[in-house]
Amino acid sequence: YSVSLVGPAPWGFRLQGGKDFNMPLAISRLNDGGKAAQAHVGIGDVVLTIDGISTDGMTHLEAQNKIKACTGNLNMTLQR
């Protein structure tokens, strides 16, 4: 499923995993009332794309930097 978080950061979630951890990128924590929680993002949901770019082969830091680069809004494709 796709989610679009509008406005500036903070987005209200934490990531875990990445190529450097041999784990898929996934949502590990949500802030109560944060933008991600309001968009019904779930803990454990796997992040497939960030702003249209596949997270396949992304390290944790690369994914973090990609998310930080999204200033107006953040578009992600997730899998439950």
More confident residue, 16 or 71: 16
Based on the structure, what is the number of domains in the chain?
1
| Mean pLDDT for the stretch of residues 36-53 | 97
CA atoms within 13 A on the CB side of 3: 20
Burial of 17 (0-12, 13-18, 19+ CB in 10 A): buried
Mean pLDDT for 55-67 is 97
Domain that holds residue 62: 2-79
Verdict on whether the full-model pTM lies above 0.75: yes
Question: Is the pLDDT at 34 greater than 90, yes or no?
Answer: yes
Give the domain CATH number at 64.
Answer: 2.30.42.10
Count CB-CB contacts under 10 A for residue 32: 6
Judged against a pLDDT cut of 90, whether residue 40 lies above it is answered with yes
